Amino acid sequence: MMRKIRGLYNKLSLSTQIIMTIILVFISFFVLQTFLNAVFFRNYYVNREIDAFNIHFQAHVTALSAVNDEDYYDAMYAFTGAHNVYSIILEPNFTPVLSLVDAYRVQFHHPDEDVMTHVVVFDNHHAYVEGETVDIRVMPYVDSSYTICALRQYDVVLYEQSCQEPSPWMTVTVETVLKPTTMNSVFERNPLGQRELRRLVNQEVDLTQVQNGSGYRYIIDDASPHIMVFIEPIDDDRYVMAVKQLQSTDAIINVVSAYQSYVYLTAVAIIILWSFRIGTVASTPIKNIEKTSRQIANLNFDVVAKDSANKEAASLSESINLISRNLRTTIETINKKNSELVALYKAQTQQSNLRRQLVSSISHELKTPLMIIQVTLQAIIDGIISSDDIPEELQNALDEVNTSSVMLQDLLQIYKVDNRDALLADETVNLGELVQAAFEDLEMLFQSNALNTEIDIDVSLLIAADGTLIERVVSNFMTNAVKYTPSGEFIRIRVYRKDTVAVFEIENKGVRIPEVDLEKIWLPFYRLEAPFEARIKNRSSGIGLYLVAEILNAHRFTYAIRNTQNGVKASFEAPLKDFSTHI
């Protein structure tokens, strides 16, 4: 299922992929936000409210501790009004502190009618002072008392609410002010206050479990909404208790989620609009490079990619241009080498069936890398290969070209060695030093693949040979040993004298060649499975041992590859200089 979805996604244009990706990102954020709100927001909100309210409550405790008992009322009124909370002053046994005055009362004198008006004050918006003159509107409360529904002084309205029945403004003088020491009379009659007072007095709350410093703090979560209760001492024999309802988190979550939905939908709409622009900017360089790749696929190497809209496009354009130059050079080299091979072939029509088979194999081997190059470029043009993978695929194509070039070089070397008119270099070669140098060049390769080596080289043996070609033979035998020897096994290299000849031997342990293949390994393009071929950076051309045989035959050296008890030994014998005849 995922493979089908990925296939459909890959067929979409770059602009559409960008739009879908961004939308999916926003949907993921929205789902994650909704999940976090549902799982974590409630506790986060409650803890945040507790910490915030605790700061205000501690300030309230400090304010109460700094005033006399008679002044608790103003501090409690300011705190409860500002934070929508109930506050009660308690005795050590958690009963409310009693006040001689049960309510905030003011007695006004009406000078025009010479009557006294008793008013119960339920707010604290104005500090009444005996002897001051104010304008009031009142409405009946209980018995013969009233409550103020409007207050005005110096033509400025200080307080006003609707009266239950028409009431005219009266200019009165404050005669007496009776203010309770606390607001207990207001809050202790509240159901929440009554409930917590009853639970505390009846010891229904385990205070040892809710102690917080010198006071107590707990949450009542069996009510909706939750209720916070804070209790702190204000002196040696009194406590202040605050009871506050927490706002329902469900309502908050619903509001936040609804708001976020609008935000995300708006963002998605904006992103969709911008994605068309982004897609155009991103796809234009790719389209330009695609046109260039199409020209290169048609072997038009004169075109040059010049897109520099961004760093990546410029880098990709440079890679395309580099591949184009290398392909042009390599194809020209291949064409030139092919021409040389054709000329050599025509000059040697008397060659045996082996030579005809060699040429046939050459054609086949050259077609494979060219086909890979063509398929790769066509895949880039058709959009099958993503832009991220283009440099890698082009590098693979270039590797195929390089392998073909190496193979052609080997083939030319074979024809030159086989050409009877071409003379081999007549040099005096120290075979031991040559083998020692070849081993040192490959020593790191042996060590990096955990191959143990045993070296026994006589550096006093001189032979007559073409040193460059003999070095090629020795290097080929050594690299073959690396490709076929398991890690941890031994490779033994020897150069020693046997009668009148110098002998080179290399034996690798851990693998043997099937007997039926021993004679075939010298044929061109005959390959045995090499389990460790990846150790060698350059892939085998398939004619390495054939070239070795041609070189050794041209020198008239004897050579062999044979199985040993637990391995394979390759060797050749060369006449020593003192006993040799010039080639």
Work out the pLDDT band at 463, boundaries 50, 70, 90.
very high
Q: Decide: helix, strand or coil at residue 50.
A: helix
The answer on pLDDT for 3 being more than 50 is yes
Of the candidates 295, 320, 326, 302, the one whose C-alpha atom is nearest the C-alpha of residue 387 is: 320
d(CA 544, CA 533): 14
The answer on pLDDT for 531 being more than 80 is no
The answer on pLDDT for 464 being more than 90 is yes
Between 395 and 333, whose confidence is greater?
333
The answer on pLDDT for 527 being more than 80 is no
pLDDT number for residue 250:
66
For domain 427-579, give the CATH superfamily.
Answer: Histidine kinase-like ATPase, C-terminal domain (3.30.565.10)
Q: Which amino acid is at 450?
A: A
User: What pLDDT digit, counting tens, does each position of 477-510 carry?
Assistant: 998 888 888 989 999 999 999 999 999 999 999 8
Residue 468 tokens read as 């460059």
Average pLDDT over residues 160-189: 83
Of the candidates 464, 461, 463, 462, the one whose C-alpha atom is nearest the C-alpha of residue 423 is: 464
Work out the pLDDT band at 583, boundaries 50, 70, 90.
very low
Lowest mean pLDDT, pick from 257-271, 359-373, 378-392, 518-532? 359-373
Average pLDDT over residues 206-213: 89
Pairing mode, strands 501-509 and 145-153: unpaired
The answer on pLDDT for 249 being more than 60 is yes
Task: Give the H/E segment covering residue 153.
Answer: strand 145-153
Proportion of the chain above pLDDT 70, given as a percent = 79
The answer on pLDDT for 50 being more than 90 is no
**Mean pLDDT rounded to a whole number for the chain:** 80
pLDDT number for residue 498:
94
pLDDT number for residue 236:
81
pLDDT number for residue 418:
64
Average pLDDT over residues 166-183: 87
Average pLDDT over residues 192-200: 85
Average pLDDT over residues 526-543: 61
Lowest mean pLDDT, pick from 17-21, 122-126, 531-535? 531-535
Taking each helix axis from N to C end, the angle separating 249-297 and 42-65, rounded to the nearest 10 degrees, works out to 130
Between 573 and 113, whose confidence is greater?
573
d(CA 158, CA 178): 20
pLDDT number for residue 530:
58
Specify which residues 137 forms β-bridges with. 150
Between 529 and 84, whose confidence is greater?
84
pTM above the 0.85 mark?
Answer: no
pLDDT number for residue 437:
94
Average pLDDT over residues 240-264: 76
Work out the pLDDT band at 558, boundaries 50, 70, 90.
very high
User: What pLDDT digit, counting tens, does each position of 114-126 carry?
Assistant: 778 788 877 667 7
The answer on pLDDT for 137 being more than 80 is yes
d(CA 569, CA 518): 12
Specify which residues 115 forms β-bridges with. 110
Work out the pLDDT band at 582, boundaries 50, 70, 90.
very low
Work out the pLDDT band at 452, boundaries 50, 70, 90.
very high
Q: Are 309 and 284 in contact (CB under 8 A)?
A: yes
Lowest mean pLDDT, pick from 84-98, 220-234, 397-411, 557-571? 397-411
User: What pLDDT digit, counting tens, does each position of 290-311 carry?
Assistant: 777 787 778 776 777 776 666 7
